[in-house]
Amino acid sequence: MTRIIAIANQKGGVAKTTTVASLGAALVEQGHRVLIVDLDPQACLTFSLGHDPEELEFSVHDVLLGRVAPGLSIITTEDGIDILPSTIDLAGAEAHLLTRTGREYVLRTALEDVAAGYDFVLLDCSPSLGVLTINALTAADEVIIPMQCETLSHRGVRQLMDTIEDVQRLCNRDLKIRGVLPTMFDSRTNLAKAVLADVKERYGLEVLEPPIAKSVRFAEAPAAGRSVLKTAKSSRGAEAYREVAINLAEIEAKNAESVR
């Protein structure tokens, strides 16, 4: 079984891209086959894992417009993760998709051609609730919400929850919220603890453990074109993402066993 997980939050700067790169690398370390999809026109995920968006022949933009098959656009990173990369051209794809019938299902249909070759597909959503994010939620089995434990990030969760509920009602009834992943977490502050407790109580969302602590190591990794699991493999952040990945893989094992 392939698990497709959308990493989504319309607020920018909450470590969505870092989470996709780090979880992907951690899952590869565990022996899983992983595909990550860069759905942000800024192409930060693509760049962070060692590929210059301006030098790519094909990207997810070409796939969504039906110009090429996904398999022709997928490239491999040094971390052993396969990536369906992005370029700035993706900014124009949203306007094009708005004119198409069944626009919410374009990514889901495209991934059907390649998903079976992977254990996990991780979708890095853009910081908006536009048609690209709707495509990701429609294609996904689950959603993980990275959230910086501060007031503004907390406010955005409700908006995202409303969008997820619409997608569950109209496009993807099987979509589940796996939980909130605390990022850039500072356990020394009362605010971080209070925001996390409030999200759990207010929305009934699971809080994924362990929280990802603030670290300069995350900012340093993209310059090397690698994930933090390769540039600072023994850091607290790398170890935390490994633990989150282990928990996700255990859930997958339980799901597979229940199917049998």
Does residue 125 lie within any of the structural domains?
A: yes
The contacts of residue 102 (CB under 8 Å, 6+ apart) are none
Q: CB of 79 within 8 A of CB of 34?
A: no
What string of DSSP letters covers 119-143?
SEEEEEE-SS-SHHHHHHHHH-SEE
Q: What is the rounded radius of gyration, in angstroms, for the C-alpha atoms of the chain?
A: 17
Average pLDDT over residues 19-45: 97
Domain that holds residue 71: 3-254
Least trusted range by pLDDT, from 55-64, 153-162, 242-251: 153-162
Does residue 259 lie within any of the structural domains?
A: no
Does residue 118 lie within any of the structural domains?
A: yes
Whether 7 has a pLDDT exceeding 80, the answer reads yes
Confidence class for position 259, pLDDT limits 50, 70, 90: low
CATH number of the structural domain spanning residue 38: 3.40.50.300
Average pLDDT over residues 25-52: 97
Average pLDDT over residues 72-96: 94
Structural domains counted in the chain: 1
Q: CB of 135 within 8 A of CB of 127?
A: no
- What's the predicted TM-score (pTM) here? 0.94
Whether 156 has a pLDDT exceeding 90, the answer reads no
Whether 89 has a pLDDT exceeding 60, the answer reads yes
Residue bearing the bigger pLDDT, 141 or 157: 141
Does residue 32 lie within any of the structural domains?
A: yes
3-state secondary structure of 3: strand
Return d(Cα 118, Cα 46) in angstroms, integer: 19
DSSP state, 101? Answer: T
Does residue 58 lie within any of the structural domains?
A: yes
Whether 256 has a pLDDT exceeding 70, the answer reads no
Does residue 106 lie within any of the structural domains?
A: yes
3-state secondary structure of 73: helix
Q: Packing angle between helix 236-259 and helix 216-224, nearest 10 degrees?
A: 80
In this predicted structure, what is the pLDDT of residue 245?
A: 97
Over residues 204-215, the pLDDT tens digits come to 889 899 999 888
Over residues 214-254, the pLDDT tens digits come to 889 999 999 999 999 999 999 999 999 999 999 999 876 66
Average pLDDT over residues 47-59: 96
Whether 260 has a pLDDT exceeding 60, the answer reads no
Does residue 260 lie within any of the structural domains?
A: no
Average pLDDT over residues 37-56: 96
In this predicted structure, what is the pLDDT of residue 166?
A: 95
Residues 203, 200, 166, CA angle at the centre, nearest 5°? 25
Average pLDDT over residues 118-131: 94
Does residue 221 lie within any of the structural domains?
A: yes
